[in-house]
């Protein structure tokens, strides 16, 4: 099993396309250290954005290509294949 350890401000998002549909999957991680006791719920809201805004920006910079994306919610940056955009 592969693991990615990252600060709470980052979201890993996977773009999937199947014969039935295409969608963006926000990968839910498991918290192992939470010194500020932050809730596990709507992480995007805590950083002043929404999942919809993140997806719109990811689509804008990548054209909706299949793959994994990393969104920095605090800095309002998204990264994919070396490109950086503002959320």
So what's the pLDDT on residue 77?
Answer: 67
Helix (H), strand (E) at residue 28: none
pLDDT at position 23, please?
Answer: 92
How far is the C-alpha of 85 from the C-alpha of 77, rounded, in Å? 5
- The pLDDT value recorded for residue 78 is 62
One digit per residue, the tens of pLDDT, for the chain of length 87 reads: 477 777 888 888 999 999 999 999 998 877 777 777 777 777 888 888 899 998 998 888 888 888 888 888 888 766 654 444 444
Compute the distance between CA of residue 37 and CA of residue 39 in angstroms, rounded to an integer.
6
């Amino acid at each position: 099993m592969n693991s990615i350890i990252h600060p709470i401000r980052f979201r890993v998002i996977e773009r999937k396309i199947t014969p039935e549909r295409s969608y963006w999957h926000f990968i839910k991680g498991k918290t192992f250290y939470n010194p500020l006791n932050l809730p596990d719920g709507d992480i995007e809201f805590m950083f002043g954005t929404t999942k919809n805004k993140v997806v719109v920006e990811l689509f804008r910079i990548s054209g909706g290509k299949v793959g994994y994306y990393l969104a920095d919610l605090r800095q309002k940056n998204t990264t994919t294949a070396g490109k950086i955009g503002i959320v």
